[in-house]
Structure 1
Amino acid sequence: MDKRNHIDFLDAAELVHEFSSEKTRKFFRWTTVAPMVLTAILLLGLVYTTRAVISSNELAQQLGSTSVFEQLKHLATSGNRPLSGEDEGRINIMLLGIGGAQHQGGQLTDTIIIASIDPTGQKLGLFSIPRDLVVPIPGIGWQKINAANAYGTAANPETVGAGPALAKQTIENVTGLEIDYYIKLDFEGFTKMVDALGGIRVDVQVAFTDYEYPDENYGYEPVHFDAGWQNLTGSRALQYVRSRHGTNGQGTDFSRAARQQQILEALLVRTSALSTLLNPNKLLALSDIVGTHIETDMELWQLFRLYDIGKNIKRDAINQIVLSNSTEGLLAVDTNEEGTYLLRPRLGSSDFSEIQAAAQNLLGPQTVAITRKNQEKILRIVIQNGTLEEGLAAKTSKKLRSSFYRITQISNAQKRDYERTVMYKLSDQISEQDMQLIRQTLNANIAPSVPSFIQDLDADVLIIVGTDNPV
């Protein structure tokens, strides 16, 4: 596929995290997420094929007898090829929503969701990661997770998929999951999609005003919605789902997520309507939007295969987890020196073990016992104190404690006069990426070789802490 194609899945459900899947299903009353996600995937396939295969006149002739879906499905046959992750029992799709070129920080991800499908057990899980979570970004260091796509895009602006590739690496490290595919959508694509469908109809539950809605000049403008059924254009629909500071109880993440759910339901109704599927002009308009605003690494046959796998998922087989700093959440609020709001794992800045466990068990506790990606990648680290400050090695180890690393030994170095913290690579099990992440975390030097005075250690890396690394 030449042009990988971004629907702002719009922070999909930034709600209170419930670790138990049973409790989660009771807590989330919106049970049409699965068909909506799958409809979005089907829509991608439909408009891609429309764009690539059939002109407007040809499409109009073709629609006379056979259904659009059957025509396109025939064109996109998979030949019984499995999707990535299908044989292992779990397909993970990374959904990214960005502002786009017309917005400040347009490549920062406003939405990060992992959609996981169990093809055998017919289950769907949605795992939402807040954009303010601080994580190690490969080659960059510790940053908010929403910056990964932006860094990747900036480093390789001419390479399609460079941003999602770095976001994928980052999210895989944090969650322990292997990401099989991605879909990315921007705000403009969302608004154009709504407009191309002729608008959507939404029942606004309560009237509200948001006096702090961001305008196009990096300031604020008030937006207001009356209660009752409203016909929304693309721009109004975007305001409805993005509003964060509404009155009348509409200033919470819960209320925002509920509004997003309404919009997705309305989009589902519009995209699946015969008036859309049998209208060549609408299909071609949607295909133009897909080509410009949606990016994915999925091929057409993969989109239809995924739809076939997930189309019969039952409502009670859907589980949603949103990481949060609620009472039962897995995150804690923090700030940096400038007072910027941040989120970190509640167990410690680099301890993502609870997050990984939640991601692993998204489809049920028996789904995946160990991550496919990291089951043989638990790195063994020895930390030695190269100074006269007592306890420095033990204190330093706390910076590295996570399910990525196993601290196998903490001791004193033979010499105690190290001014700089230094790392020695002792095996081929540790990748250059992992070496760089540790180096950035500890502000350490990486030694070009292992000196003879270092004894054989049963470890992948040795870290000798210097006086430059006080804790």
Structure 2
Amino acid sequence: MSPLPPRRSYRTARERVAARRAALGGSTSRRRQRRSCTPVVLVALLILAVGGLIISMVGNWASATLRTFEQDDPRYPTTAGAVAHLPASLREPFNVLLIGLDSRDSPEDGVRSDTLMLVHVHPAEGWAGMLSIPRDSMVQMPNLGLRKINTAYTYGYNNATSLYGAGTSPAAGGGAFAAETVAAFLDLSVDYIAQVDFEGFKHIIDTLGGVTIDVERPILDPAYPTPDYGYERLYIPAGLQVMDGAAALRFARTRHSTSDFDRTARQQQVLRAILHDVRSRDLLSQANLLPELVRSLEGSVRTTMPLSDIDTLRGLAALAQQLDPAAILTLSLNPNDVRIVAEEGSNIYWDPNGVAAQVARLLAGPQGSSALARIQVLNATDMHGLAGRVSSRLSAQGFSVNNPADAPMRSAQTRLIDYSGHPETLRRLATTLNLNPGQVYTSPPPDAPPAPYQSDIVLLIGADFQE
């Protein structure tokens, strides 16, 4: 069996073309042919990216069949642990860019990405994390300058051959350029890409018998987009309900009655609900679902992961089976966690330090992320912009900082107050800010202001503060 191709980190089109040609002696056709996976394989990667869903199903089916040909080799001891059975390329943490496509082929926009989600998988520790990027985020694109992030896929789709060489399919070009853009924006490698369009999303849920969603509050969208580029009225009542594929897609896509940030939260809710339902209904053992999924998803799902390699397929199945839905970290770029520098119409400009802090939470995982103390800087002086400058400085030094704000009162003394028991972060902050022990409080004093929303430690900047 041939070894797996090396994992890619998508950065620039020129670097990728050069690397591909060097590896293949100047030709790109063979690598592209190897990367064209069967529908079974495409189904497998898609669900790994969204929480390990169909990979588990495929893995159970494939492993049960292949196990009939196996026997133990007494010359070698059995190594415990799921990671020991993974191929070498999957033992280290890796990132998958999940792209949800609006492939209605608009004459104005062409095929475009409706959803961008970076999925970080940590095999050794058995967890995964999702970071959603709103489609209206303004980012720097390679060789293009400042653009809206959801246009990256369209540009790569329309310019596939000029960017990546003759023979590159539009879908491959779109996925690659979107990956390069996301990698540069997050300063994080994108190792693999998984693409699914609206029809594929619906077919997954319909084949699995629907998905159970707890709708927190009623949703009324008077202008939900239809496949023929029209609009319709959409109403989703509150409460626990089983949605078919079409209903789940509407729930995940609507944003006119709420915000795009609420939309990304609903998308993550659907993905976690799929995994929960599949496990609770024991669908992982129902191999009879596989042929129908393969038929319905052909043409709707694409991936760059080399899943035609049987070791990779079986390794992913083992990895997916150990993923606990409760251990899937869900993050997004939203105003509660990342400061918006500016808005122009629907265009959103994010604070780079806040984006970096969200990436740090993603890489820290469910346990490490919860241990990251949230810092709130409050300006208790008359000096305009002081809290913002201090917040930026702390973010640049790796602290998790909320949006700066004014204090409810003026203060002559600067105080650093721990509201939720983070002694190590408190010590680091005191050292970084050069505060004396009398300014540092391990618990709130009687006259301390109430802890702001989602804040663990408050820096109250007083008139004695030295920048």
Change (3 A) 1:321 1:237: closer
Match of 2:224 among 210, 213, 226: 213
Contact 2:53 2:320 in 1 (8 A): no
Structure 1's 115 and 261: CA in aligned 2 closer, same or farther, altered over 3 A?
closer
Asked if the contact 2:252/2:270 (under 8 Å) is kept, the reply is yes
Query: Hey, what's the Cα distance between the residues in 1 that align with 2:338 and 2:232?
Result: 33
Unaligned runs of 5+ in 2: 1-34, 71-83, 162-167, 369-395, 398-467
Secondary structure in structure 1 of the residue aligned to 2:114: strand
Per the alignment, in what secondary structure is the counterpart of residue 51 of structure 2? helix
| Structure 1 residue 238: Cα displacement | 1.2
Paired residues of 1:270 and 1:276 also in contact (CA < 8 A): no
Alignment of 1:418-429 (within 5 A): none
Is 1:83 aligned to residue 89 of structure 2?
A: yes
1:299 matched residue in structure 2: 306
Cα distance in 1 for partners of 2:316, 2:294 equals 20
> 1:334 is aligned with what amino acid?
E
Matched, 1:278 2:306: no
SS at match of 1:193: helix
**Cα distance, 1:313 vs. partner?**
4.7
Q: Could you list the per-position Cα deviations for residues 49-79 of structure 1 after superposition, in whole angstroms to 9, with x for gaps in the alignment?
A: xxxxxxxxxxxxxxxxxx6252367599998
Corresponding residue to 2:64 among 71, 83, 93: 71
Please state how far the C-alpha of 1:135 moved relative to its aligned partner.
1.7
Q: Identify the structure with bigger relative contact order (alpha carbons < 8 Å, sequence gap 6+).
A: 1
The residue correspondences of 1:126-275 to structure 2 (distance < 5 A) are 126-156=130-160, 159=169, 161-246=172-257, 251-253=258-260, 255-257=262-264, 259-268=266-275, 271-272=278-279, 273-274=281-282
> How many residues of Structure 1 are paired with residues of Structure 2 in the alignment?
308
Q: Is the 8 A contact 1:98 1:106 kept in 2?
A: no
Give the Å deviation of 1:34.
9.2
**Paired residue for 1:342?**
347
Larger mean CA deviation between 178-187 and 263-272 belongs to 263-272
1:144 to partner: Cα distance: 1.0
Distance 2:330 2:123 in 1: 17
Equivalences for residues 300-315 of structure 1 within 5 A: 300=307, 301-309=311-319, 311-313=321-323
**Root mean square deviation, CA, Å:** 4.0
Change (3 A) 1:222 1:76: farther
- Within a 5 Å distance, the mapping from 1:351-366 to structure 2 comes to 352=352, 354-364=354-364
Distance 2:86 2:198 in 1: 35
Per-residue deviation at 1:97? 0.9
Amino acid at match of 2:153: N
Output the CA distance in 2 between the equivalents of 1:205 and 1:72.
43
Indicate whether 1:332 and 2:346 are aligned. no
What's the CA shift for 1:98?
A: 1.2
In the alignment, is the contact (CA less than 8 A) between 1:333 and 1:341 conserved in 2? no
* TM-score when normalising by structure 1: 0.55
Q: Describe the SS at the equivalent of 1:139.
A: coil
Query: In the aligned structure 1, how far is the partner of 2:219 from the partner of 2:265?
Result: 14
- Which has a greater percent of helix? 2
Task: Provide the rounded CA distance (Å) in 1 between the counterparts of 2:269 and 2:292.
Answer: 23
Contact 2:333 2:358 in 1 (8 A): no
- Structure 2 distance, partners of 1:151, 1:107, is 9
Change in Cα spacing, 1:190 to 1:72, as seen in structure 2 (3 Å) is farther
Task: Output the CA distance in 2 between the equivalents of 1:263 and 1:318.
Answer: 13
1:290 aligns with 2:302: no
Please give the alpha-carbon distance, in whole angstroms, between the structure 2 residues aligned to 1:76 and 1:270.
32
Deviation at 1:166, TM superposition (A): 1.0
Q: Is the 8 A contact 1:34 1:124 kept in 2?
A: no
Q: CA deviation at 1:357?
A: 4.8
Q: Equivalent residue of 2:322, what SS? A: coil
Q: CA deviation at 1:221?
A: 0.9
Q: Is the 8 A contact 2:105 2:111 kept in 1?
A: no
Identity between Structure 1 and Structure 2 (%): 27
1:128–1:322 CA contact under 8 A, matched in 2: yes
* Offset at residue 252 of structure 1 (A): 4.1
- Identify the match of residue 2 of structure 1 among 33, 36, 43: 36
Cα gap change, 1:122 to 1:80, in 2 (>3 Å)? closer
